[in-house]
A and B are shown apart, each in its own frame.
Chain A
Amino acid sequence: MSRSIGLSEFEARLQEAGIALGDDRRIASVRTRSIAASDWGPAAAVAMTFGCRWAGMWAEADHAHMRLYCVLDYAGDPLLLSAEAPLAAPEFTSQTPHFPAADRMERHARDLFGVIFVDHPDPRRWTRHCAWPEHWHPLHPAQAGDPPTPGRTPADVDYPFAAVHGNGVFEIPVGPVHAGIIEPGHFRFHAAGEPVLKLEERLGYVHTGIERLAVGRDPAGLARLAARVSGDSAVAHAWAACQAMERAAGIEAPPRALALRGLLAERERVANHLGDIGAICNDVGFAFAHVQTARLRERWQRRNRECFGHRLLMDTLVPGGVARDLPADAAEILRADHAALRREVEPLFDIIDDHPPLDDRLVGTGVLSQDNARALGCTGYLGKASGCGFDLRRDAPYAPYDALEVPLVTDGEGDTAARVRVRMAEVRASLDLMDQLLDATPSGETIAPLPVPPPDAAGLGRVEGWRGETLAWVRFDDEGRIARYFPRDPSWFYWPALERLILGEIVPDFPVCNKSVNGSYSGVDL
């Protein structure tokens, strides 16, 4: 069954279920259907039965309407569903009962826009802590000013965590400030003895108001902001945002720019995987691997600065292309680097893959079943380690990947060891991809001017970041400035997965499980 037939059949199912489909003509480059606000939940029920992957949702408002969008993916083909309600009564049926991953994104939209989700199972706030009152919504068009009560923000002490009762059950509160150099978040464990009975995450501590900061920016300013949604995914988010803007404006970056973007994205993937592999080993006391991979990562980052101007590749992508061309001799240097890294990782990965003390701690630890990974819509290394091999570069290829052979990387075990193996396989695969990109880099321009997009133009960007499928939604206003930006980091699906895979594990194994998942805090707190 070809893909578009798949989506057509899905639309037929929606209609059989009594859901009327309209065309939303304002959105170029992605198949869009509008439905009634009351059908928002029922459509999700059909999508779940049909086997769609739920890939994210966000709200958007103008002076009269509240609109919701959600992305449903079928075999790599995206369908954008939209629904509209009057701003005065923004009521939609909830999709959370059908797709558990929708829970936090719906609560995020509720906190920031004041969207009302009828029959949402969880009435608690999510992104909102105590910095603004319950009935003030930072992205609601009628509330553009500052919240009524500025001044010192108290700690969010009375968030109603779910309770677990029973003999010998105790709570362990952890965070927001952790005992290491990591991002802040709160974890509430319920344990009986050592095994974890329940883990509840409380995030939102690094909410910096990115969605509101984006409003009114010019395209270059948005690309700069996108690179800072999650510092480890500077290329992924900047690429998704640039792609969204370019699609809205009806252009494509020149082929040479796209090849360089591919190169940058693979460099980001390799750097992060090297860091993660070492950090996972370090969390179970295998410092040797940590030191070795940190060494390789440092050399890689120095080359980033030399050839691309930034150690973390921030601001290397700009709307319409890339910020600068590859220096004259860089291709040769990079090729030699790839060969050297390939040589270096072989003995190292060989040890990590087969070292009994390491196996003792990683094999069978923190298993995410394929059912859970699928139900939550996990992509990237987390999904791949649990048998969900989806990869946009392979399953819905965009330039430059449409001309490359991206290997299928999957593992069925779903444990921490599998997440390490997938990362190692992806490092190897990226090295091959980067060589192919260098061999076939087209000549020509590295940037095309971004025309002022038509008023109200919108675009959806979709790229495979190092953590997985990364989306960006951009709408322009009448003057070519940003009216709406929503970056959907893959971590929205990683965090709920962590809550599931930790169940039954012992509390001391939480750090390594968390590291092996490595969700971004800033990427979801926004």
Chain B
Amino acid sequence: MLRILTQVLRTGIVTEPPPATDDAALEALGLELRRAIDARFGRSLALRHVDAGSCNGCELEIHALANPYYDLERFGVGFVASPRHADALLVTGPVSRHMETALRRTWRAMPSPKFVIAAGQCACDGGEFGVSYASCGAVENVLPVDVKIPGCPPAPDELIRGLLAALRVPA
């Protein structure tokens, strides 16, 4: 226990904007996101993520949103395990034909109002995989998409910006 406390104290709080991006910018972004969420969904935004055919690159960056540098939850954005608890569906990957029905069913299970956010190049326009015998391509070929976050994969700060844009979309 002592070792853990020592490590925690030694580490301190690292939650801060990335050195590569502008300090004030990320902070402002987070606050704006916070305000938008307050206005639209009360106090929080619950996301359900579905990988519909991704290479797993986007998932790694979505995971990074939870690390102490971004700590997405402090802005009231969290990931939920059930689509029934979700306000928005975050979809990554081109939609593989084998995931098409699972994706539709996940979306149908969500209560309204609901958003669909296409995250990553493949979700936005099919990316490297496009439309083929195995792939439906972009998410919008399968579901109505409200917001697209391009990038291969989008970096965590780009994901935060995209989530903000999602909240600006009129319901």
Contacts and interface: CB of A to CB of B under 8 A. Distances in A.
Given A153-B97, A306-B20, A180 B81 contact: yes
A475 to B, nearest CB: 20
B152 A314 contact: yes
A332 interface: no
A521 B61 contact: no
B3 A206 contact: no
A522 interface: yes
Nearest to A282: B66
B150 interface: no
A138 interface: yes
B158 to A, nearest CB: 11
Contacts of A184: 50-52, 99, 102
Contacts of A482: none
A183 B59 contact: yes
Given A146-B133, A294-B67, A522 B56 contact: yes
Interface string A345-368: 001101100010000000000000
Contacts of B53: 205-206, 208, 522
B3 A350 contact: yes
> Which interface residue of A146, A208, A234, A297 has the most chain B CB atoms within 10 A?
A208
A129 B98 contact: yes
A225 B102 contact: no
Contacts of A212: 132-134
Nearest to B121: A228
A311 interface: yes
A153 B64 contact: no
Contact of A228 (B49, B57, B64): B57
Nearest to B49: A181
Q: Interface range on chain B: under 10, 10 to 19, 20 to 34, or 35 or more? A: 35 or more
A176 interface: yes
A231 B93 CA distance: 11
Contacts of B98: 129-131, 153, 156, 204-207
> Which interface residue of A146, A206, A298, A306 has the most chain B CB atoms within 10 A?
A206
B8 interface: yes
Contacts of A213: 128-130, 132
Contacts of B138: none
A474 interface: no
Interface string B77-117: 00101100000000001101111111001100000000000
A295 B67 CA distance: 6
B155 A231 contact: no
A231 B60 contact: yes
Contact of B56 (A156, A207, A521): A521
B133 A206 contact: no
Contacts of B106: 177
A181 B134 contact: no
B68 A311 contact: no
Nearest to B130: A213
A155 B108 CA distance: 15
Nearest to A179: B81
Contacts of A182: 51, 59
Contacts of A446: none
Interface in A180-210: 180-184, 204-210
A153 B100 contact: yes
Given A181-B49, A294-B64, A206 B54 contact: yes
Contact of A231 (B7, B10, B58, B94): B58
Nearest to A183: B51
Interface in A291-318: 291-292, 294-295, 297-298, 301-302, 305-306, 311-312, 314
Interface of A: 129-132, 138, 146-147, 152-156, 176-177, 179-184, 204-210, 212-213, 224-225, 228-232, 234, 275, 288, 291-292, 294-295, 297-298, 301-302, 305-306, 311-312, 314, 347-348, 350-351, 355, 520-522, 525
A209 B152 contact: no
Contacts of B135: 208-209
B60 A232 contact: yes
A231 B59 contact: yes
A458 B36 CA distance: 56
Contacts, number: 168
Interface stretch (B11-19, B27-35, B160-168): B11-19
Nearest to B128: A228
B56 A205 contact: no
A18 B81 CA distance: 58
A522 B32 CA distance: 36
A154 B8 contact: no
Contact of A522 (B10, B50, B55, B105): B55
Contacts of A225: 128
6 contacts: A146-B133, A207-B98, A228-B57, A228-B128, A302-B19, A312-B153
Contacts of B101: 152-155
A213 B58 CA distance: 20
Given A177-B102, A206-B98, A522-B56, A292 B132 contact: no
B29 to A, nearest CB: 17
A209 B129 contact: yes
A230 B96 contact: no
Nearest to A278: B67
Contacts of B59: 181-183, 231
A515 B57 CA distance: 17
Contacts of A522: 53-56
A275 B60 contact: yes
> Which interface residue of B7, B52, B68 has the most chain A CB atoms within 10 A?
B7
Nearest to A299: B69
